[in-house]
Amino acid sequence: MTSSPPVEGLPRAHWFVVTFVVYVALALVVKSTVLNWIIGPLWLLITLFLVPNLFRRVRRRVVSD
């Protein structure tokens, strides 16, 4: 059985786990419809796309300097 290489730009598994744990903890503290209907989709966009891209940019700057 062969495994395919990781998809470029797709966050690693630990990002999904961390995102899920933080979101569930936040949901336990802030029980609101706003958290479920507005922040929920934005949370995934921010934590699985924007934050990893920001880390990559910062790491490239640090490495290139």
Task: Write out pLDDT tens, residues 41-60.
Answer: 888 888 888 988 898 899 88
* Per-residue pLDDT at 6 exceeds 60: yes
Query: What is the overall mean pLDDT for the chain?
Result: 81
pTM of the model: 0.62
Among 48, 58, 54, 57, which residue's Cα sits nearest to residue 17? 48
Residue type at 52?
Answer: P
Give the separation between CA 47 and CA 18, rounded to whole angstroms. 9
In the predicted model, is pLDDT for residue 1 greater than 60? no
Average pLDDT over residues 1-25: 78
Residue-by-residue DSSP string for 4-47: PPPPTTPPPHHHHHHHHHHHHHHHHH---HHIIIIIHHHHHHII
Share of the chain above pLDDT 90, in %: 2
